[in-house]
Structure 1
Amino acid sequence: MAMNQIKGHNIYVGGIFCLKNKAAMSRADISHVLSVLRLNPSEETFEGYEHYSIGVDDTDDDNLLEHFPAAIKFIQAGLDTGGGVLVHCAMGKSRSATICIAYLLHRQPGALTPQSALALVRETRPLCEPNDGFMEQLELYREMGCPDDVTEHPLYQRWLYRRDVEESVACGRAPELKSVRFEDEQPMRSQESTGQTVEIKCRKCRRKLATTPFIIPHEQEKQNSAKINPSADCAHVFLHPLTWMRPSLFPSEDASEPAAGATYGAHTDDAPLSGRLTCPNPGCGANIGKFAWQGMQCSCNHWVVPAIGLAKARVDIANKVNVAQGPRANPAIRLPPSMRTPESNDNGRGNL
């Protein structure tokens, strides 16, 4: 099939065979060619063009996301010269379309979604259809804000960590310690002040276990599954990996004996695929939850993968007021008499 121009842009999408149509390339004034496939034609094919190559396969698990910034920079450089840019893969269907969508998202990060950008590309090339993995990467790219550098972004690094976990679990093994991203060891991104922060403590010894940035909300995904029971309360609070969990997640790193309740893979030296979480307070050691790298089903029927959950029956969850926001930031907190207002009734508490 011939190459097709994206509406409103001097960018063309095509398959590998359009490279042989020099007449069409000349009419389109192509000056830059971006190849998105593992096997490239000989360099002689690209004589007279600026050429950039990205070696990926059209599979769900190939990482095309890491190449978005360089590809976008190359496309923009071509457009800035006044020439046309051809983005091609084998068929002009998945990989090349993904790169073009990434470019459109980068140019209009607030106006387009991967789906709307795909619809724009399909107006002139209806066969375009990125695979599911690439669409997921485009959605992540949009969620990141379409940055010029993706590799240092926390969301990208978290995505890589989850991929490592999935690959390990697929082999029946827990991930290696070096591949696990402990969120409390990462630089914290600035967050909007909402006036309150969730704080989770061990019910037995009051040791603080986690706060808002480390909690994984999964309620937002309930709409995607007909099996979700909206009336069921979640029995666990799911967290990102934190440093205090290391003795439970990787007992061989801290002790000669495996942790109680741990389920191991086929290799005796493996970390457990699942097991208990214990309070990090040496004087407590209470059983406060469980983990399962292969995932587990919450009581609301939603699957969380990987799953590191604190049992709500074993912890206390409270909202901590941001003093800068004033005492009304969280009416569920009991206020001292000097800070109470007429609206704060019920013995000094707000509406619970």
Structure 2
Amino acid sequence: MAMNQIPGQNIYISGIFCLKNKEALKRENITHVLSVLRLNPAEVQETFSSYEHFAIDADDTDDENLLQHLPAAVQFIQSGLDAGGNVLVHCAMGKSRSAAVCIAYLLHQKPNVLTPQSALEILRQSRPLCEPNDGFMEQLALYHEMGCPGNDVTENPVYQRWLYRRDVEESVACGRAPEMRSVRFEDEQPTRPKEKAVQEVEIKCRKCRKGLATSPYIIPHEEEKGNSTKVRPNAECAHVFLHPMKWMSPSLFPATDGSKTSSSYDNAEGDAPLAGRLICPTPKCGSNVGKFAWQGLQCSCGSWVVPALGLAKARVDIANKINPARTQASVGIRMPPGMRPPETNDSSSGRGNL
């Protein structure tokens, strides 16, 4: 199987059978080999004894967590290049796993220029068969969102939120709600979401005025244009969807405090409910402020949100307040349809008429 050089890089990509061609490896001055597959330990010493070798045990499946290994892979590739050698990255076929790692390296080199798809196109110039599976492409997009770090990603909020969503998906696939210990409550995290908007949204219970959420905890989603599955044609969002917050715990996990609630449903005996109502955290209020569904909900605008923890607009008050710590030059977060402030027209500002 051919060994192909990535354009503009002293990095080569191939399948595992290329390692049998020692003359070709020597001719291309391969000094470092990165293996992205599960190897037979008995063959490692014999096959890789002449090279600096680093192995990532990974299967070519959508649910394989390759993301956690990308920084170490990037560091190894860079160390080989810095030593003046050439680096070979291989998997079984040189198509998915090895391509994903090479894309991560290219992204790390030019995070503001490349995207996962444009980096893949660079690889395909010399190796057209490169095609990381959909799960790896999603993880590369997350790696790019993180800023393409060259160090550990496991403490990054983006990574932790992705793990939490994976746990939810796996639990729901088995017909169960996730366990409480696997849920990431955003307002308990050491690094909380930063408010980037000049105009901050504050949501309160309509009955008792208890504060429930602000802009950093809101999950933005776009209205699906022309979606034939809309609940109501031309409807605005009836709910504001949130990241999990600690005040939701009694609704999401009613058994943890020894109580039972009639507001939850779709739960087996002893299990947390898959879906139910969100209750105001003020003890004397107890108002139904929304609903949740770990398997997801379709918003009235047509978009699906998974998992879905939504405050009903009819049961809460949503207020906009100016954030004095931000200027008008700040980048606002994207809000759901129906919550965005009206656009202003600056054409009448009088600029240029002095």
TM-score by length of 2: 0.88
- Map 1:171-182 to 2 at 5 A: 171-182=174-185
Q: Secondary structure at the match of 1:264?
A: coil
Q: Residue 120 of structure 1 is aligned with which of 103, 119, 122?
A: 122
- Corresponding residue for residue 345 of structure 2: none
CA distance in 2, matches of 1:157, 1:123: 34
Q: How many residues align?
A: 326
- Corresponding residue for residue 294 of structure 2: 293
Q: Secondary structure at the match of 1:103?
A: helix
Single out whichever of 304-313 and 315-324 deviates more from structure 2: 315-324
- Corresponding residue for residue 89 of structure 2: 87
Code of the aligned partner of 1:9: Q
1:324–1:163 CA distance, 2 compared to 1 (3 A)? closer
- Unaligned residue ranges in structure 1 (runs of 5+): 331-352
CA distance in 2, matches of 1:39, 1:142: 28
Q: Secondary structure at the match of 1:92?
A: coil
Aligned residues: CA RMSD: 2.1
Code of the aligned partner of 1:260: S
- Corresponding residue for residue 96 of structure 1: 98
- Corresponding residue for residue 302 of structure 1: 303
Counterpart contact for 2:195–2:216, Cα < 8 Å: no
1:287–1:190 CA distance, 2 compared to 1 (3 A)? closer
Q: Secondary structure at the match of 1:281?
A: coil
Query: Is 1:249 matched up with 2:255?
Result: no
TM-score by length of 1: 0.88
- Superimposed CA distance per residue, residues 79-113 of structure 1 (whole angstroms, 9 cap, x where no aligned partner): 01111100000000000000000000001000000
1:223–1:80 CA distance, 2 compared to 1 (3 A)? farther
- Corresponding residue for residue 9 of structure 2: 9
Query: Shift of the alpha carbon at 1:140?
Result: 0.6
Q: Secondary structure at the match of 1:323?
A: coil
Q: Residue 140 of structure 2 is aligned with which of 133, 138, 141?
A: 138
- Superimposed CA distance per residue, residues 52-84 of structure 1 (whole angstroms, 9 cap, x where no aligned partner): 000010000000000000000000000011111
Counterpart contact for 2:195–2:215, Cα < 8 Å: no
- Corresponding residue for residue 21 of structure 1: 21
- Corresponding residue for residue 316 of structure 2: 315
Query: Shift of the alpha carbon at 1:323?
Result: 3.2
- Map 1:143-292 to 2 at 5 A: 143-147=145-149, 148-188=151-191, 191=194, 193-219=196-222, 222=224, 231-265=234-268, 268-292=269-293
Counterpart contact for 1:222–1:302, Cα < 8 Å: yes
Which has the higher relative contact order, 1 or 2, with Cα contacts under 8 A spaced 6 or more apart?
A: 2
Q: Using the aligned pairs only, state the percent identity.
A: 69
Query: Shift of the alpha carbon at 1:236?
Result: 0.4
Query: Shift of the alpha carbon at 1:187?
Result: 2.4
CA distance in 1, matches of 2:140, 2:216: 24
Code of the aligned partner of 1:90: A
- Superimposed CA distance per residue, residues 299-327 of structure 1 (whole angstroms, 9 cap, x where no aligned partner): 11211110000000000111111235589
Counterpart contact for 1:248–1:259, Cα < 8 Å: no
